[in-house]
Amino acid sequence: MKIVLGPSSRELGEKIVELTGFQKVPVASRVFPDGESYIRLEASVKDEHVAIVQTTCMPQDSNLMQLAFLANAAKRNGATKVTAVVPYLAYARQDKIFLEGENISVETVAAMLKAAGIDQLITVNVHAESVLTIFPFPAQTFSAIPLLAEYFVKKGHKKAFALAPDKGAMHIAQQAQTVLGGEAGNLEKQRDRHTGQTSQTGKHLNVKGETVIIFDDIISTGGTIVGAARILKEQGAAHIYTACVHGLLVGDAEKRILNAGIEEIVATDSVPSKNSKVTLAPLISQALKAL
Ligand code: R5P
């Protein structure tokens, strides 16, 4: 297997090369003055199974197009099989029709990737596992939550309370709990489908005087985490941290979260930023070696 270093995940790709010992395929990329993307594979992929490491966080549309271009280039240059390693899978949250007249975004993404030549997909903490069945080729998701929880154990927070900000994330909090060895619980979140606004409520949790880590798959605007922090403070939590797999952190999300009294934001390199304190390289390397 060879690892294609997609422009949006170059550093992660290099780490995977280091851990797996697979050869790398560097990529030349640039953006034309009109905004269109250009890519070129800079090593041979002839008769190879290639894994293209390319996340599709912001700017989602151009990162997706680059992924499709890389797959097309790989097939045109003789690759026998193309596995897309997409740590953050864009558009996965629009996986069904919520309101009449909508589309299913991830269905279009899946068809586009198939047409580009992708044969298989590996992603991390996809928002809902049912999304994987939409892809017309094998698609797998792996969880980075144990790696995030280990980060906190190493920092001395063994036995911290693992909190899910809504019921849907409770399985995530439970995975963290397995590593942390403390308690786990969840809040409730309601979303207005027309405005997108969310509100949260919290039953009594055993957090008075405790260290609490809020775990979620995605932090986007930070509204969910800020709402959770408010409830935790009302219930007397002593220290609050937050961990997510995909730290999109749009606009002033980071500032809002820190202003809400959260002591640290920890994310993975599925969305490269200064908050990417946990690398997905060991998780993805293991998955690739098992193929
Ligand atoms: C939604 O259900 C997700 O798991 C996250 O809770 C959500 O995407 C976070 O969004 P925001 O940071 O904008 O509240």
Among protein residues, the one whose CA lies closest to atom 10 of ligand 1:
220
Average pLDDT (215-224) is 97
Q: Give the number of the atom of ligand 1 that is nearest the alpha carbon of residue 221.
A: 13
Q: What is the pLDDT of residues 270-281, one digit of tens each?
A: 999 999 999 999
Q: What percent of the chain has pLDDT over 90?
A: 94
pLDDT score, position 52: 99
Chain centroid offset of residue 181 CA: 24
189 catalytic? Reply is: yes
Q: With pLDDT > 70 as the criterion, what percentage of the chain qualifies?
A: 100
On the question of pLDDT at 185 being above 90, the answer is yes
Distance 234 CA to ligand 1 centre (A): 21
Mean pLDDT across the chain: 97
Quote the pLDDT of residue 196: 76
The H-assigned helical ranges of 117-168 are 145-154
8 Å CB contact between 52 and 81: no
Q: What is the pTM of this model?
A: 0.95
**Range of weakest confidence among 68-82, 152-166, 182-196, 246-260:** 182-196
Q: Across residues 241-266, what is the average pLDDT?
A: 98
Catalytic residue among 155, 189, 203, 208: 189
199-210 mean pLDDT:
88
Residues 6+ apart with CB under 8 A from 121: 83, 84, 86, 89, 113, 132, 135, 137, 138, 139, 140
Distance 218 CA to ligand 1 centre (A): 6
- Residue 19 phi, psi (nearest 5): -75, -35
Helix (H, G, I), strand (E, B) or coil at 237: coil
CA angle 5, 11, 13 (to 5 degrees): 40
Q: What is the pLDDT of residue 200?
A: 81
For 154, residues 6+ apart whose C-beta sits below 8 A from its C-beta are none
CA distance 29 to 43: 14
Pocket test for ligand 1, best of 218, 249, 262 (most atoms within 8 A of CB): 218
**pLDDT band, very low/low/confident/very high, at 194 (cuts 50, 70, 90):** confident
Question: Quick one: how far is CA 119 from the chain centroid?
Answer: 21
| Ligand 1 neighbour 169 (Cβ under 6 A) | yes
pLDDT of 104 higher than 80: yes
Q: 274 alpha carbon to ligand 1 midpoint, in Å? A: 20
From CA 108, how far away is CA 135, in angstroms rounded? 10
**Type of residue found at 141:** T
